[in-house]
Chain A
Amino acid sequence: MYECPNCGSNLKFDIAAQQMLCSHCSTTLNPYSIQRDQDAGEDDAYDVTVFTCSQCGAELLSEDTTAATFCSFCGSTAILNSRIGKGHRPVHIIPFSKTKEDCKASYARMMRRAVFAPKELKDQAYIEKFRGIYMPYWVYSFEKKGEITFRGSTSRQKGDYLITRHYDIISEVDASYKGISYDAAAAFSDDLSGAIAPYDMTACKPFTPPFLSGFYADSGDVDSFVYEQDAGSLAADDAFRRMADDSVCSRYHVKEQRNSYSLKNALRPECTAAESAMFPVWFLSYRKGDRVAYAVVNGQTGKAAADLPVDRKKYVIGSLLLAVPLFLILNLRFTITPGAALILSALLAFVCAFVSFSQMRRIKEKETRENDKGYIFSKQKKENEQRNNGVDDSWVNYAETGQRKTAKKPDSTTIIIRIIIGTMLFSFVLPPILTFTAFLGGNAATLTTIVIVFTAFVFLVPLYRRQKNVWKISVKELFPVLAKPFAAILLAIVIILWNPVSDLYYYGGSIISMGTVIWTLMDIIGRYNMLTTRKLPQFNRRGGDENA
């Protein structure tokens, strides 16, 4: 707590004035002019009240000793345990410049698009719970200076030979990238921190603890090397983009060089600094059962992002309303034959199966947070500490894992070769299948063709998108998800192959099939809500209750 020199009351950082303000006597002071005895002790630490959530183990740092009544990360409303601790002193800070009112306005603007969001997310009492938190970040600086050499070539056809002339291309570069930032808290997921980026680094100031007064702060638990490669790639890509379009580089086809002498490799910059910083975030959590959704607003720019689940009731009502004009339009132009109705229902079931499958993969990714580098690092760090009795060698482990992952990732050429081989194999299989379907004739041929096209689509799209572990989900996990749409498809196939004269079978089958599709679509919404919410966090910090 910082005392007002006039009245002894608590001084807090005022966003509008960008000064320390006494709410009692309205005295304003420059944050850098205030110095507590305990702040002056160590260079890299400052005294702070550490609030720990007894349910999830999240730690919030504060200059204020007033009891915190809820946890921003798991939404628990239990009073948080507090203790006096040491906070790691970052190098920089970007002070809050958006007030809570600005934050609420940004959030409200974003929520206008979310017509199917639960009404609780728009409730004023809920929105009041937005809490200003300084999130830890790493700010990277990169430089590339001096002469670079890279390879270029020109080609021409002469008779039956392709003549290629290879060149060394030399240039002097002077590149500097400062202020590339990544969040350094495992608690703050990469997707949310990425969504509210970037921060304006020109407003960065040297850190002093009084800036934290009136706000909370999260403690960083991710080391700087975790995001160093990503930040470096960002800088290298930008440099490459700027230089590759140069007339000389274009003439010598520099963009197409794929060897170790490529321009991109030559431009790879060196990391000159990785400095810790605190950036302002307005943070809000919405807890329902064992799931939690977050809303965040950039405390500097006002950019908002949120996990937005769907209220099923609103979604169904909205869809029924939309169905009325669609029904009228369909009736104007569309008379469906019994066979076509069945094929259409099977087709829709295929679409649902495809969406469900895609959702399952994304849920798997999200629940394991395998794409969240900060979280994975933090988890490994904890495991290593436990295994090695407190000695942390997580950087070795993480670097090895990261390298393995990089080595496994296929390049464009491999992808193209895979697609060509896949297409060739497919073209071997296709003619007999098509001959067979032609023999069957009519609806059976149509349905079989649809099955083939969709199967090819399901296989080729992940290949094209360079997705690894496409079939990572086990059959046991997939079965309950795909059972309904495939039951609908199965019914359609049986009826079409049976080919009864009576329409009742076709219409009955298509009605059952379409009903199943609607049921599957409701499941899809349920899974969408899983995707837009998160498991209750467990931060593996002191105070976390594993059974919570």
Chain B
Amino acid sequence: MRKNMIYKIAIPAAVTIITLAGIFQVWNRFRRFQDDLLYDFTEYQTDSQGEGAETADDEVYMNHAPQSDSSGKEIYINPKTSYRALIEDDALLLDEEETLALAASMQEITDYGNAAFKTIDNNHLDTESYARQYYQEQFGTASGTLFLIDMDNRNIWIHSDGNLYKVITKSYANTITDNVYRYASNGDYYDCALHTYEQILALLKGYKIAQPMKYISNGLLAVILALLLNYGLVCFFTGIRKPGRRELLRNGQNHFHYTQPRAFFVRESRTYNPTSSSSSSSGSGSSGGSSGGGGGHSF
């Protein structure tokens, strides 16, 4: 009876939940896709009107590609290391006071490398690609770190390069953004950025940062892997194995002799088998770029 209930209720319920969740996800994606289409259409209309075309072009440029160094707001150059700190709040998330306070906290990072803070509210790339491009535009392959708040994709991202990437690795970038994304979710972008740079600085100074979920996940994962590994060992070492065919015949009284085989031609057959010519080409290429990377989190 209970089993029947499971078949009649649980399975259809599970299928319904998955389907609904899938529809929800597809709908969300579709809405975003529709927004993008509308955006492109508006852009086209503005462009085609002639008047204001230059402004629209500029907007497109601003939205699609990171701004050049000249448009950035350089706030500090470390006299000892020549590393720079840069704040570019295009999404207008910080007020003047917050910008100054954040700049002060970023100054210490310039002892180790460049530091940049960037906010955007329009982005047709994904957050990671934008961060990578922007970083290269600003610092090339020099050592440094960038914290990006992408309001369009609702993502925060840390991108590092050079020596700093050896410390602020992808793993640590993910951990830091995991630790601070809640501030961004609550609209507290200043605290989000401040805590990010605090944690970056802590790592650069050789301190540890809190990563409780890393330990919980790794702990559970280690237990599962150990259970699986031991199961594999049990199966391998204690399973019943039969000997091979050769071993079975090894102790018998066997002999096998034969005379040299002689072949006698019987007939010839022809089968249509067209040969196909094919060509292949291979090549290799390389693309330049930074070796840096990072991690992020949606908010």
Contacts and interface: CB of A to CB of B under 8 A. Distances in A.
Nearest to A296: B240
A133 to B, nearest CB: 18
Nearest to B262: A170
Contacts of A168: 263-264, 266
A481 interface: no
- The B interface is mostly helix, strand or loop, or mixed, namely helix
A108 interface: no
Interface in B264-299: 264-275, 295, 297-299
Interface in A231-263: 234-235, 237-239, 242-243, 246, 248-249, 251-252
Contacts of B218: 327, 330-331, 334, 336
A319 B226 contact: yes
A515 B220 CA distance: 8
B82 interface: no
Given A248-B260, A305-B240, A166 B269 contact: yes
A326 B269 CA distance: 63
Interface in B194-242: 211, 213-231, 234-235, 237-238, 240-242
Given A178-B254, A440-B26, A335 B171 contact: yes
A479 interface: yes
A521 B224 CA distance: 8
Contact of B21 (A439, A441, A497): A497
A243 B213 contact: no
Interface stretch (B70-78, B116-124, B243-251): B243-251
Contact of B273 (A161, A310, A327): A161
A334 B172 CA distance: 10
B275 A525 contact: no
A195 B221 contact: no
Nearest to B297: A503
B273 A160 contact: yes
Given A170-B261, A174-B257, A518 B224 contact: yes
A327 B219 contact: yes
B17 to A, nearest CB: 6
A497 B25 contact: yes
Interface stretch (A46-54, A112-120, A402-410): A112-120
A123 interface: no
B175 interface: yes
Interface in B132-187: 154, 170-172, 174-175, 178, 181-182, 185
B188 to A, nearest CB: 14
Interface stretch (A11-19, A199-207, A538-546): A199-207
B227 A319 contact: yes
A201 B252 contact: yes
B263 A335 contact: no
Instruction: Specify which of B21, B224, B253 lies most central, judged by the most chain A CB atoms within 10 Å of its CB.
Output: B224
B10 to A, nearest CB: 8
A493 B257 CA distance: 64
Given A191-B242, A202-B251, A323 B258 contact: no
A202 B269 CA distance: 51
Contacts of B25: 440, 444, 497-499
A198 B250 contact: yes
A168 B242 CA distance: 38
Contacts of B21: 493-494, 497-498
Interface size range of chain A in the complex? 35 or more
Interface stretch (A83-91, A284-292, A337-345, A425-433): A337-345
B224 A161 contact: no
A363 interface: no
A252 B221 contact: no
B14 interface: yes
Contact of B178 (A318, A337, A344): A337
A201 B181 contact: no
A166 B21 CA distance: 64
Interface in A456-497: 476, 479, 490, 493-494, 497
Interface string A514-525: 110110010011
Contact of A335 (B18, B172, B261): B172
Contacts of A323: 219, 222-223, 225-226
B24 interface: yes
Contact of A167 (B29, B235, B265): B265
A21 interface: no
Given A162-B273, A195-B241, A243-B258, A327 B251 contact: no
Contacts of B52: none
A140 B297 CA distance: 72
Nearest to A300: B251
Interface residues of B, number: 86
B160 to A, nearest CB: 14
Contacts of B266: 166-168
Interface string B95-133: 000000000000000000000000000000000000000
A173 interface: yes
Nearest to B259: A172
Contact of B181 (A355, A503, A517, A528): A503
A174 B275 contact: no
A320 interface: yes
Contact of A180 (B249, B261, B275): B249
Given A160-B272, A162-B271, A163-B268, A501 B298 contact: yes
A291 to B, nearest CB: 16
A330 B222 contact: yes
Given A116-B234, A167-B265, A440-B26, A161 B245 contact: no
B97 to A, nearest CB: 28
Given A198-B243, A439-B29, A326 B268 contact: no
A175 interface: yes
Nearest to A116: B234
Contacts of A132: none
B12 interface: no
B255 interface: yes
A238 B255 CA distance: 10
Contact of B240 (A172, A191, A511): A191
A201 B251 contact: yes
Given A162-B273, A331-B214, A335-B211, A514 B224 contact: yes
Given A319-B226, A521-B227, A197 B214 contact: no
A434 B176 CA distance: 32
A249 B224 contact: no
Given A335-B171, A498-B21, A348 B217 contact: no
Contacts of A490: 14, 17-18
Interface string A280-311: 00000000000000000000000001111010
A210 B253 CA distance: 26
B80 interface: no
A202 B272 CA distance: 56
In the A-B complex, the 3 residue pairs with the smallest Cβ-Cβ separation, listed nearest first, are A335-B171, A179-B252, A327-B222
28 contacts: A162-B273, A163-B268, A163-B270, A164-B268, A164-B269, A165-B265, A169-B261, A172-B258, A174-B255, A175-B255, A178-B252, A179-B252, A192-B240, A198-B248, A198-B250, A201-B251, A308-B238, A315-B230, A319-B229, A335-B175, A494-B17, A497-B21, A497-B22, A499-B25, A501-B154, A503-B213, A514-B217, A525-B231
Given A162-B270, A197-B242, A201-B253, 16 more contacts: A160-B272, A160-B275, A166-B266, A174-B258, A177-B254, A180-B252, A199-B251, A200-B251, A235-B249, A242-B256, A246-B260, A336-B214, A338-B213, A493-B21, A494-B18, A511-B216
